[in-house]
Amino acid sequence: MKLEKLILSVFISAIFLSACNSTNTPQTQQTSVNKKDETKLPEGFGNANVEQTKIPEEGQQQPEQKSLIELKEEEKRKFALKAQQNPVPIDISKQAKTRLSDGSEYWAILDEKGVTETREFKNHPQLAKIEKFTQGKNSTVKAYLKDGRVLQIPANKIRDFAQDTAEQILMAAGIKTVTKPVENQTKERKEESKQ
């Protein structure tokens, strides 16, 4: 009984497979004959005059197909190029600022040009701010004074941009600092405390 069922199932499978092979053979022959007709849509389906993607014939090289990773990388490159051509303006008022121990504020901006570090001195009588622009290995440092002058400082003279005192920065720029003598400072403090 089991043997009969096994023989019957093998026989049905063989008939099914032979039927499948016989129906595929005429279609593949017909397909190779009508390859030019397949590339156009029938009348009434979209733009029938425009050829669709062509199927390469035997012996022709197939167009190079890109992997999903290559397509994503190409998409990233296009996005970066678009961002470089149309940069988004940066609102400095919304930048995260760090208040340093001397009362100055420090922040940095990274954009397509490079890194711009800025340190603003709010309570210093001479120095308004300093900026350090770094592009690759090249750095330039500019000091902006409260009287409107802008001084170029050699980058190697500033040891620590965020920690050097205003007096050290002014000395690096070649400016004498305006400091009140100790006697005058103590007299002013006594007068302020009396008031």
127 within some domain = yes
DSSP 8-state assignment for residue 128: E
2 within some domain = no
Rounded mean pLDDT of the chain? 75
DSSP 8-state assignment for residue 120: E
Q: Which residues pair with 151 in a beta bridge?
A: 143
84 within some domain = no
The domain tally of the chain equals 1
Encode pLDDT of 126-153 as tens digits: 999 999 999 988 999 999 999 999 999 9
193 within some domain = no
104: domain range? 95-173
- Average pLDDT estimate for 20-32: 50
86 within some domain = no
pLDDT category of residue 90 using cuts at 50, 70 and 90: low
% of the chain exceeding 90 in pLDDT? 17
Measured CA distances, 58 to 24, 45, 61, 128 (Å):
18, 28, 8, 75
155 within some domain = yes
Per-residue confidence (pLDDT) for residue 187, from 0 to 100: 53
Helix %, strand %, coil % of the chain (to 5): 40, 20, 40
59 within some domain = no
65 within some domain = no
- Can you give the pTM of this predicted structure? 0.46
